[in-house]
Amino acid sequence: MNKGSFEVKVGLAEMLKGGVIMDVTTHEQAKIAEDAGAVAVMALERIPADIRAAGGIARMSNPKVIKAIQDTVSIPVMAKCRIGHFAEAQVLEALGVDFIDESEVLTPADEENHIWKHDFKVPFVCGCRDLGEALRRIGEGAALIRTKGEAGSGNIVEAVRHMRRVQSEIRKLTTLQDDELMAEAKRLGAPFELVRQVAKTGKLPVPNFAAGGVATPADASLMMQLGAETVFVGSGIFKSEDPAARARAIVLATTYYNNPEKVAEVSAGLGDAMPGLDLAEIPEEERLAKRGW
Amino acid sequence: MTKKTIKVGVLGLQGAFQKHIEIINSLGAEAIDIRYKDQIEGCHGLIIPGGESTTMSKLIDEMNLRESLEKFPGMIFGTCAGAILLSEDGADPRVTPLRRTPVKVMRNAYGRQIESFVENISLSFNDKPFKAVFIRAPKFNNIDSSAEILGHLNGTNVLIRSGNNLLATFHPELTDDPRIHQYFLNCLQ
């Protein structure tokens, strides 16, 4: 019986497509997310907006929080470990989480190396700002890629930038000749075999999701139209005025992203979205997307 | 294919619907992504893909699709979450199944994702083993004696046909082997 193969890891990512993955910090929030139609939850001690406000070192969640959430919902439960912190990842695997996010939202544990994700049975998702970063993470074993965006900002601008860059670099690869691919792999800083594969197929070898700054149903629709296959919503739901209604609306807007009337209908009467931050208000050294490479 | 093109609606609310669409199209039939009630009529068969059964169950009600799916006269092929939705009882109040098939299905019966696996299964209608991908897979319970067992994994039933329903607890859409989709299309001829 072949458990934990790359095929099985990507298989779960395939099942999450066309859905919304929601950050939750308590089992009560997890229940609200599941009832609203989330395809998975991300179990956290604090959501990114609060991590940003609190400062200090952000680490893997307390196993007690994760277990309480696992005991409450039947959908997959994800959890975050610090970049390069393979021991936190081992703990999360031992807890039986369904997906690990090696995440820039937490304080990096290794400024040079990410986790060698092929060593694990549990699948990993990693953030990226461009195609080179996406392919480096896939080379290390990530079964799912998401944009980094700027977590906890409530501002979609960085997620849009990252998704557009990845898509346009993929399109460019498909136009190159064989003898141009090595130079492009060098420029991207990406594994050559993966560059060749993307050039041939015109898509990433694993699903490509959006994350970082999604706060409204229209944000979800925007990211899906830009080529995201599922949407992560972090602070956007539980920092808003009416989380249950907003969660339901974002789920519907993700499935019906191509139908503006439907997105309009679900967006009505939701109460206030999370306040959000202009990127100019976030000092360069406090930007989470810059963590990892 | 024969004279008329077979039209298969793949429920596109959530999950691995695109993979089913690709396989059906590669076999010469026409697959369409179904998200609205009025698209269902005119399909010869339907597929409910793998994904999250709680999410799909909720969207089926939000979009008022339940009655059309329950009463759909053609064959419906459900994989994993799709099989849970076709069953009589998903043994979980969070999922309201369509009750088309007299079988109970236990969700996540093998455990969490680290227990997901790939294994060869045996098919009743073909001699060669089929490489099957099981992702947080369910198990059939209390299969009605009228159901036909089409596939098993070391004695555990994983592919059954009951009336106008075809249920798989694994994901034939995740491998390049089209034999099970071809079997489904043959049923629609």
Q: pLDDT of B75-101, one tens digit each?
A: 999 999 999 999 998 888 999 999 999
Cβ-based interface (< 8 Å): residues of B facing A: 12-19, 35, 50-52, 54-55, 58-59, 62, 80-81, 92, 94, 107-108, 111-119, 133, 135-136, 171, 174
Q: Is position B171 annotated as part of the catalytic site?
A: yes
Q: Read off the pLDDT band of B1 (50, 70, 90).
A: very low
Task: Report the pLDDT averaged over residues A258-270.
Answer: 96
pLDDT in tens, A189-246: 999 999 999 999 999 999 999 999 999 999 999 999 999 999 999 899 999 999 999 9
Q: Taking Cα atoms as reference points, which of A267, A135, A156 lies closest to residue A215?
A: A156
Instruction: Provide the percentage of residues in chain A whose pLDDT is more than 90.
Output: 88
d(CA B74, CA B67): 14
**pLDDT value of residue A183:** 98
**Domain B3-188 falls under CATH 2.60.40.10:** no
Measured between alpha carbons, how far is B6 from B167 in angstroms, rounded to an integer? 20
pLDDT of amino acid A45: 87
- Percent of residues, chain A, with pLDDT higher than 70: 100
Per-residue model confidence as pLDDT tens digits over A28-58: 999 999 999 999 999 998 888 898 888 889 9
Of B14, B107, B135, the CB nearest to A39: B14
By Cβ distance, the residue of B18, B52, B92 closest to A39 is: B52
The pLDDT-based confidence of B18 (bands split at 50, 70, 90) is: very high
Taking contacts as CB-CB distances below 8 angstroms, the residues of chain B near A1 are 117-119
Two tokens, residue A257? 């992203």
Average of per-residue pLDDT across A104-123: 97
Q: CA nearest B57 in A: which residue?
A: A37
Is the distance from CB of A219 to CB of A156 less than 8 angstroms?
A: yes
For the entire predicted model, the pTM comes to: 0.96
A37–B18 C-beta distance less than 8 A: no
> Which active-site residues of A does the annotation give?
80
Residue A105 phi, psi dihedral angles, 5° rounding: -70, -30
Q: What are phi and psi of B107, to 5 degrees?
A: -70, 150
Q: What is the pLDDT of residue B3?
A: 53
Would strands B165-168 and B156-162 be described as parallel, antiparallel, or unpaired? antiparallel
Token readout for A54 is 């609190």
Mean pLDDT of chain B: 95
pLDDT reading at A20 higher than 50: yes
Contact call for A76 and B113, based on CB within 8 A: yes
Residue ranges of the domains in chain B? Answer: 3-188
Contact B51 A16 (CB under 8 A): yes
